[in-house]
Amino acid sequence: MATLYLASGSPRRRELLTQIGVPFLTQIAPIDENALPDELASAYVERLARAKGQAGLAALSNPADAVVLGADTAVVLDGRILGKPLDRADALATLQALSGRSHEVLTAVALVSSERIVSQVVTSHVTFRALSMAEIEAYWSSGEPQDKAGSYGIQGLAAVFVSQLQGSYSAVVGLPLCETAALLAEFAIPCWQTLPVHSHEVVGRG
């Protein structure tokens, strides 16, 4: 079986891969994450996911039996990609813009080996209830928004903001598990590898 490497420092993606019982090592290589002029969000996240995987593979000393997983997530409102907040003012403005509205979360996952690369983009729709300014400021003070695309984490305190979700919850967190499992299967990497083994006692009829 090939060795899987995760080209991401995201603790959320590490937790999600662990959740489905897939062992992995981490191999991160820097890439330019700036969007290209007039680049659509779907093309942007897929390009970055593939680039992360390719950079991770290139950084390995022995890539022959390796598969590298790259992923990228973008929060999109009115066609505009909302990245990680630059500062407090940026985060507050972003959360105000998301308040009471629906937005898209696009997550791309790519698997890269020395022989091929496959990728997929998953789009989910998230709706926020109306947020008060006091809530927004308290949320910023928690520290949670500071490293999150769109200035929020659905798996954390911001769960109370979400009134509706259409699509993949795990994709909004950072890795679409259903689609990732299918891509891993193409490389003969199964899920549930780390499940505990339980003995089953067979009781005969007396």
Q: Mind telling me the catalytic residues?
A: 72
Q: How many Cα atoms occupy the beta-carbon half-sphere of 35 within 13 Å?
A: 16
Q: Which phi and psi angles does 168 have, rounded to 5°?
A: -100, 120
Three-state DSSP at 72 gives: strand
What are the CA-CA distances from residue 201 to residues 64, 73, 75, 108, 206 (Å)?
Answer: 43, 46, 50, 44, 15
Three-state DSSP at 127 gives: strand
Q: CA-CA distance, 32 to 194, in Å (whole number)?
A: 34
What are the CA-CA distances from residue 31 to residues 7, 36, 46, 48, 86 (Å)?
Answer: 11, 13, 14, 8, 19
